[in-house]
Chain A
Amino acid sequence: MRPGYDIPELLERFKKGQVSAAARLITILENGGIDAEAVLDGIFHMTSNAYRVGFTGPPGAGKSSLIFRLTKKFREKDKKIGIIAIDPTSPFSGGALLGDRIRMQALSDDPEVFVRSLASRGSLGGISNCTDEVTDLMDAFGKDLILIETVGVGQSELEIAEKAHTVVVILVPESGDGIQAMKAGLMEIGDIFVMNKADHKDAELAAMEIEDTLKLKKIADDAWRPRVILTSAKEDRGTGEFAGLIEEHRVYLEQSGLFLKKRRQILFSRVKNALMDKMERRLRASESVKNIMADRMDDVYEGRLSPFRLVHELEKIVTIK
């Protein structure tokens, strides 16, 4: 029942700026496979100008609410905005309730803002496997700024650092987030630390704690020193300054030449990751690997062959020239 699609036709309409075409192309990227590759081939040459900001931090910290406020601020400066909001897929049902959009519904009458909710699907952690590609697509669609909201839990929160130019870590005064953030390694990746819900008590204290922790970090003189800022998405406080900080970081990256370097890094790791991914998938699908394993696992079970030995045998059928 779902209508089929015609990628060249969609790309045509995409180039004309049709939202429905862009939205369908995102779906194709999400669903993966050779169609997704065809879409990326079709749009990749149009990318490169958009600035990418990643938002991470525990669920409920106010990521979606702050993205809403920031978008309003950036719109005053006439920036075109793409938002990618990722929520977790239920491991039990495979379904998902994508709840970030609710906080941004008031943006839906602005034609220059494109909000897309993604479920994390197969991905293990805080982002969806197609985040890079969807970001490219929004970039190619002419967005100046792409805001990526991660799920906010788990190890692979750190992955956002490989995808964004600026990483924002959002924390709240309650429940000792600062310590949690350190444990999770967020202190290492954040360019800007936001203590949101400044309308709650103890926010200032909590922000100071983060500052103190950051002071322990060794940072070269000319390097970017991570910044800490207090905001209240609820009362729209500190959000203008927050937008300003993101801009400041962007200018820093550009002037220091790091922007280009970062862009290269991002692309480099994408190629590497995509390759690994593909290789893994090929290995999993390989009949000969399956056959050999079927034959030889008994030897491993019964102690006649060590696991490494068997891998050596298997490796022989994998040819990388």
Chain B
Amino acid sequence: MSRKIRVLVAKPGLDGHDRGAKVVANALKDAGMEIIYTGLHQTAEMIAESAVQEDVDVVGLSILSGAHMTMFPRVMDLLREKGAEHIMVFGGGIIPEEDVEKLEKIGVSRIFGPGTDTGKIVEFINGRFQDED
């Protein structure tokens, strides 16, 4: 039966930079995935709850405002609390190298920075889920 990869693309915090998030959402859609875009100014709580209700496979956070060290851990914690630690969390934006390492340590699976080819993002997700079908 048809089985689709479902992705929640979210903009946490006060950040208004949405060009990248929308580009990524469109690229994932064109790669055959089902995308739920939350819109701007989301709290970690809103993101985690949406992810659970939508039973997404992936949560992608786009953060260019420097609030990543607050937002990523919060979303991860809330997902765990809601029994959804299986959801893969990754993201992109302006995130310094040293913070990328810290985020990967707490379980963020990958950070894609400026200049990323969206094909790479698609490849990465497909790579994670390809053993399925």
Contacts and interface: CB of A to CB of B under 8 A. Distances in A.
B86 interface: yes
B52 interface: yes
A23 B4 contact: no
Nearest to A26: B55
Interface in B13-51: 25-26, 28-39, 42, 45-46, 49-50
B36 A20 contact: no
A192 interface: no
Interface in A227-255: none
Interface string B109-133: 0000000000000000000110110
Contacts, number: 100
B110 to A, nearest CB: 13
Interface in A138-165: none
A101 interface: yes
Interface in A102-156: 102, 105, 108-109, 114-117, 119, 121-122
B29 A19 contact: no
A18 B83 contact: yes
Nearest to B47: A108
Nearest to A104: B50
Nearest to B36: A98
Given A32-B2, A95-B34, A116 B39 contact: no
Given A94-B32, A102-B39, A119-B34, A1 B131 contact: yes
A31 B34 CA distance: 13
A48 interface: no
Interface in B39-97: 39, 42, 45-46, 49-50, 52-55, 57, 82-84, 86, 88
B3 interface: yes
A95 B1 contact: no
B46 A90 contact: no
A23 B36 contact: no
Interface in A65-122: 89-90, 92-99, 101-102, 105, 108-109, 114-117, 119, 121-122
Interface in A20-36: 20, 23-24, 26-27, 31-33, 36
Interface of A: 1-3, 18-20, 23-24, 26-27, 31-33, 36, 89-90, 92-99, 101-102, 105, 108-109, 114-117, 119, 121-122
B29 A99 contact: no
Contacts of B33: 95
A18 B36 CA distance: 22
A3 B86 CA distance: 7
B54 A23 contact: yes
Contacts of B36: 98, 101, 117
Given A95-B35, A97-B35, A20 B83 contact: yes
